[in-house]
């Protein structure tokens, strides 16, 4: 349900329900995860040797491929979780992804400050990842914990969209 509020003749703000906002967050995360997972899984050796400061590293490439597989699976799960009406399940997804993205952001932040031999290129990649992971964790955390955790309804009344 989208509510349109007009405050003045020139400004219109479109407000949507928390359910629709969470569905959009799931969709954004799913699409990003599928794209990143596919790129990580199919990354050629040449690109990996340019990214790695010491040349090609097979272990790093395999780790990136494995992470890509996890991102693909996460994207698939999130894409298919959007129509699920069970609020408890949606809360658990938000909790798990909140913790997951916080830990990933902390891990990249630690790597950024503890590795003194990094090039400028790695610093930009790390800071981009830190910002993205922090924003995703904040989004999932706000959906799960804002308003005392009652933003996601545990029992939703059936509507036309969820009766299919």
Tens digit of each residue's pLDDT (9 = 90 or more) over 87-134: 889 999 999 999 999 999 999 999 888 877 655 556 788 899 999 999
pLDDT of residue 111: 85
- As a whole number of angstroms, the distance between CA 106 and CA 14 comes to 34
Tell me the pLDDT tens digit for each residue of 135-159: 999 999 998 888 766 767 655 555 5
DSSP-derived letter for residue 33 is H
* Residue 50: band (very low, low, confident or very high) from pLDDT cuts 50, 70, 90: low
Please give the residue that has the higher pLDDT: either 101 or 6: 101
Check: CB of residue 25 under 8 Å from CB of residue 90.
no
Domain borders along the chain are: 20-83, 86-154
pLDDT of residue 147: 75
pLDDT of residue 99: 97
DSSP-derived letter for residue 162 is T
Q: Is 13's pLDDT higher than 70?
A: no
- Name every residue whose Cβ is closer than 8 Å to that of residue 107 and which is 6 or more positions away in sequence: none
Check: CB of residue 134 under 8 Å from CB of residue 9.
no
Does the predicted model carry a pTM greater than 0.85?
A: no
3-state percent helix, strand, coil for the chain, nearest multiple of 5: 70, 5, 25
Cα–chain-centroid distance for residue 113?
23
Please give the residue that has the higher pLDDT: either 111 or 76: 76
Tell me the pLDDT tens digit for each residue of 15-47: 788 888 999 999 999 999 999 999 988 877 767
Please give the residue that has the higher pLDDT: either 3 or 136: 136
């Amino acid at each position: 349900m989208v509510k349109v509020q007009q405050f003045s003749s020139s400004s219109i703000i479109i407000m949507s329900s928390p359910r629709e906002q969470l569905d959009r967050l799931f969709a954004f995360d799913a699409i990003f995860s599928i794209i990143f997972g596919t790129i990580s899984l199919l990354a050629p050796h040449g690109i990996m040797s340019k990214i790695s400061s010491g040349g090609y590293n097979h272990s790093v490439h395999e780790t990136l491929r494995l992470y890509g597989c996890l991102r693909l699976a996460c994207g698939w799960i999130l894409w298919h979780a959007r129509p699920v009406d069970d609020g408890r399940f949606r809360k658990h997804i938000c909790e798990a992804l909140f913790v997951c993205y916080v830990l990933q952001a902390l891990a990249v932040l630690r790597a950024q400050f503890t590795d003194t031999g990094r090039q400028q290129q790695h610093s930009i990649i790390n800071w981009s990842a830190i910002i993205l992971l922090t924003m995703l964790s904040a989004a999932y955390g706000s959906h799960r914990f804002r308003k005392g955790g009652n933003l996601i309804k545990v029992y939703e009344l059936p509507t036309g969209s969820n009766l299919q």
